[in-house]
Amino acid sequence: MIKIAPSLLSANFAKLGEEVVNITKANADYIHLDVMDGSFVPNITFGSDVIKSIRPYSNLPFDVHLMINNPDQHIKNFADAGADIITVHAEASIHLDRTLSLIKSFNKKAGVSIVPSTSEDVLDYILDKVDLILVMTVNPGFGGQQFLNSQLQKIYNIRNKIINSQRNIDLEVDGGINLNTYQNVIKAGANVLVSGSYIFANTDYSHAIASLKKI
């Protein structure tokens, strides 16, 4: 089953709680929260305090994507704030196995993300600890970028790794997901689609979310 995770990066920050309520009512599956530190990526968004403040507005899983350096220092704060899934970047964690174990020590699902220039082979030795793999199909840091078709083969390769692992791992894709790209992403093997600009630019969130599930 295809799951849709609207990215609040494209929401109206002046009424963030209301946006969370509306996207929940529109039958989203996850709430995707992009945390950026201005170091690992060029932009800065929000931290654990903001996530804690909007947690009461939805009972959906909070899918927290840490685009930050030194993630180990902050994982507890995001776990305490109400994250259900905490995803770190393979490029930002030197001791990735230890970082994933830390996430799981808080009874949270652990995710790993890789940027477009990173090979999927970095995942080979941590598949036993991940619950979600996030493939970036744009260079992270900004919303509204153009989808990189070069990542479709990577998505396909990772799906095969998941099959071979015999584990139930979500394969999530983030970046440039819209009506022109989503079907190819699903065909390549993704089952969770992150979409920000496309969904929040639509006046009918429910229709936008449903449109990304049509095979």
DSSP annotation string for 85-150 = EEEEETTT-TTHHHHHHHHHHTT-EEEEEE-TTS-GGGGTTTTTT-SEEEEESS-SS-SSPPP-GG
pLDDT at 41: 94
Residue 174 falls in the annotated catalytic set:
yes
Residue 49 falls in the annotated catalytic set:
no
pLDDT at 148: 96
Instruction: Choose the catalytic residue: 29, 37, 63, 174.
Output: 174
Q: CA-CA distances (angstroms) from residue 112 to 46, 122, 133, 205, 207?
A: 20, 10, 5, 28, 30
Instruction: Choose the catalytic residue: 34, 37, 63, 170.
Output: 34
pLDDT at 126: 96
3-211, which class in CATH? alpha beta
pLDDT at 141: 76
Q: What is the pLDDT along the chain (215 residues), one digit of tens a residue?
A: 999 999 999 999 999 999 999 999 999 999 999 999 999 999 999 999 999 999 999 999 999 999 999 999 999 999 999 999 999 999 999 999 999 999 999 999 999 999 999 999 999 999 999 999 999 999 987 667 789 999 999 999 999 999 999 999 999 999 999 999 999 999 999 999 999 999 999 999 999 999 999 87
User: pTM value?
Assistant: 0.96
As beta bridge partners, residue 85 has: 63, 109
Q: If you search the block for the tokens 């479709």, which residue do you land on?
A: 152
Question: How would you class 51 by CB atoms within 10 Å of its CB: exposed for 0-12, middle for 13-18, buried for 19 or more?
Answer: buried
Q: SS3 for 2?
A: coil
Count of all residues that appear for the chain in the document: 215
Pairwise CA distance, residues 215 & 206, whole Å: 17
Residue of 29, 25, 26, 66 lying closest to 48 (CA atoms):
66
Residue of 76, 134, 60 lying closest to 108 (CA atoms):
76
